[in-house]
Structure 1
Amino acid sequence: MNAIFGWSVLALVFLDELLAMAAFGTWGWDRDPRWLLVWLLPLAAMTVWFLLASPKAPYGGRLVRPLTKVLVFTLASAALWDAGHEGWAVALLVFSVVVNALAQLPGIRVLVEVPG
Structure 2
Amino acid sequence: MICAVAIFGWTVLALVFVDELLAVAAFGVWGWDNDPRWLLVWALPAVAMAAWFFFASPKAAYGGAVVRPVAKVIVFGLACLALADAGHGGWAVSLLVFSVVVNALALLPSIRVLADG
Q: TM-score, normalised by structure 2?
A: 0.95
Shift of 1:112: 1.4
Unaligned ranges ≥5, structure 1: none
1:44 — aligned with what?
47
2:61 — aligned with what?
58
Shift of 1:44: 0.3
> What is the aligned counterpart of 2:70 among 64, 67, 72?
67
Provide runs of 4+ in structure 1 moved above 4 Å.
none
Shift of 1:49: 0.1
2:38 — aligned with what?
35
> What is the aligned counterpart of 1:82 among 82, 85, 89?
85
Query: For 1:71-115, what per-residue CA distance to the aligned partner results, in whole angstroms no more than 9, with x for missing partners?
Result: 10000000000000000000000000000000000000011116x
> What is the aligned counterpart of 1:13 among 12, 16, 22?
16
Question: What is the 5 A alignment of 1:105-116?
Answer: 105-113=108-116
Shift of 1:39: 0.8
**Match of 1:2, SS?**
helix
The one-letter code sitting in structure 2 at the alignment partner of 1:32 is D
Q: Does residue 1:25 correspond to 2:28, yes or no?
A: yes
Q: TM-score, normalised by structure 1?
A: 0.96
**Match of 1:14, SS?**
helix
CA distance, structure 2, for counterparts of residue 113 and residue 76 of structure 1: 26
Percent of aligned pairs with the same residue? 73
